[in-house]
Chain A
């Protein structure tokens, strides 16, 4: 029998755990965004070293399965003397990984900015750093908002993998309940539904932000 009571009973706990899922994935996107901006800036710079590093970074973090990256940070960080809580290591790994994807997305955004807008900023005397933070990043974000929202939903999904290295979040808790109740179907379906709702909400907010920040507003 499909046990609806079990779902109702475990829903509060699952929802609580899903808060961690949201925290872990959103903070990894936030950190990853900073990483992605830097990697992308290096990739678009005139320095050969910078471009080389950027290409290497993107290739590596997109070329290795996230699960393997998580295993490496979980098992190998202590070997080189880095002892951080597994949740910190996991979020850091998620951030490094999404940083590579975000760098590629932002690259498209930066290249889509009309060069005249940068020239105008140079002509009023803005420094390179201010041009980056006040003109280029805001414009690149607006140009790439749909992809950025999509990447955020990808990270919500990817955060389920950190359960494998023992971090408590939605998937991990679902596993714990499933193994103790022997009713995995109900629990995993519920967990899946919660992920689905989280991503639906993110997509909704993203759509709202898109219409709010659309660069070409109707006159």
Chain B
């Protein structure tokens, strides 16, 4: 087995593009996923059951089926509904819908962690339901659910690799195609693993620091 790192340095521009796309997909998917998750949790908890039931089904389905199949349904099945998405849009939409289901569970647990007495108190003062969510519940629960949110966000960064299967030119796809055109599988794939590994470690460490800082911040302000 030979080892030739030049294969990587020769293609550094493509690899950097791949990395950039991976991060873009991750950021967009997470951001939209968070919005979906929060919306689903609020609708599930604070509206009638006719709206909550289909949302519960959505969460169960997204959590109970493989992400890859979800991507296939969106990307290949989309045209059936007149949705002719590019691989990139389909991928980001898939990641957001998938992450949104998990995020909604986290938000739901967060809402339930705020003592009901506080909400009753706010209600008695005539504060609207959404204002209670925004000013009473969210600020308190965010500290509690931050570790879970951070954890899920980190997990989503790994899922971006699956988008290579629907031909999105993200990092895995780029490096893999370099590998198969040059037959330098060892160099390219081990490099790929190392990049993800380093990336994950950095992001995880950053999440830990963020949790600590937010924790300290909350301790300083009396609640």
Which of these, A63, A65, A188, contacts B201 with CB under 8 Å?
Answer: A63
A158-213 interface with B by 8 A CB criterion: 158-161, 163-164, 171, 174-175, 178, 184-185, 188-189, 191-192, 195-196, 199-200
Report yes or no: A178 in contact with B68, Cβ–Cβ below 8 A: no
Q: Let me know if A157 is at the binding interface, CB within 8 A.
A: yes
B34-59 interface with A by 8 A CB criterion: none
Whole-angstrom distance between the alpha carbons of A159 and B65 in the complex?
A: 11
Q: Name B residues whose Cβ lies closer than 8 Å to a Cβ of A.
A: 1, 60-61, 64-70, 72-73, 76-77, 80, 158-162, 164-165, 172, 176, 179, 185-186, 189-190, 192-193, 196-197, 200-201
Q: Let me know if A13 is at the binding interface, CB within 8 A.
A: no
Q: Let me know if A59 is at the binding interface, CB within 8 A.
A: yes
Asked whether A195 and B1 contact (CB < 8 A) given A63-B197, A185-B76, the answer is: no
Report yes or no: B68 in contact with A163, Cβ–Cβ below 8 A: yes
Q: DSSP majority for the A interface? A: helix
Whole-angstrom distance between the alpha carbons of A67 and B162 in the complex?
A: 7
A156 to chain B: which residues have CB within 8 Å? 66
Which of these, A76, A164, A199, contacts B186 with CB under 8 Å?
Answer: A76
Q: Name A residues whose Cβ lies closer than 8 Å to a Cβ of B.
A: 2, 59-60, 62-69, 71-72, 75-76, 79-80, 153, 156-161, 163-164, 171, 174-175, 178, 184-185, 188-189, 191-192, 195-196, 199-200
Asked whether A189 and B196 contact (CB < 8 A) given A72-B189, A160-B66, the answer is: no
Which of these, B1, B66, B200, contacts A63 with CB under 8 Å?
Answer: B200
A157 to chain B: which residues have CB within 8 Å? 64-67
A80 to chain B: which residues have CB within 8 Å? 1
Which of these, A67, A75, A188, contacts B77 with CB under 8 Å?
Answer: A188
B189 to chain A: which residues have CB within 8 Å? 68, 71-72, 75-76
A69 to chain B: which residues have CB within 8 Å? 193
Whole-angstrom distance between the alpha carbons of A200 and B61 in the complex?
A: 10
Closest Cβ–Cβ distance, residue B196 to chain A (whole Å): 5
Asked whether A188 and B192 contact (CB < 8 A) given A59-B197, A195-B64, A196-B64, the answer is: no
> With A71-B172, A188-B73, A196-B60 given, can you name 7 additional A-B contacts, CB distance below 8 Å?
A65-B160, A68-B161, A76-B185, A76-B190, A157-B64, A160-B67, A174-B69
A158 to chain B: which residues have CB within 8 Å? 66
| CB closest residue in chain B, given A182 | B76
| CB closest residue in chain A, given B194 | A64
Report yes or no: A160 in contact with B69, Cβ–Cβ below 8 A: yes
Which of these, B65, B80, B176, B190, contacts A195 with CB under 8 Å?
Answer: B65
Whole-angstrom distance between the alpha carbons of A63 and B201 in the complex?
A: 7
Closest Cβ–Cβ distance, residue B133 to chain A (whole Å): 29
Ordered by A's residue number, 5 sampled pairs between the chains whose C-beta atoms are within 8 Å are A68-B189, A68-B196, A75-B186, A76-B189, A160-B69
Closest Cβ–Cβ distance, residue A179 to chain B (whole Å): 9
Asked whether A171 and B176 contact (CB < 8 A) given A63-B197, A80-B1, A185-B80, the answer is: no
| CB closest residue in chain A, given B164 | A67
Whole-angstrom distance between the alpha carbons of A66 and B196 in the complex?
A: 11
Closest Cβ–Cβ distance, residue B150 to chain A (whole Å): 14
A174 to chain B: which residues have CB within 8 Å? 69, 72
B196 to chain A: which residues have CB within 8 Å? 63-65, 68
Give me the 9 closest cross-chain CB pairs, A-B, nearest first. Answer: A185-B77, A184-B76, A160-B66, A65-B161, A75-B185, A63-B200, A63-B197, A157-B66, A65-B158
| CB closest residue in chain A, given B71 | A188
Report yes or no: A67 in contact with B172, Cβ–Cβ below 8 A: yes
| CB closest residue in chain A, given B157 | A65
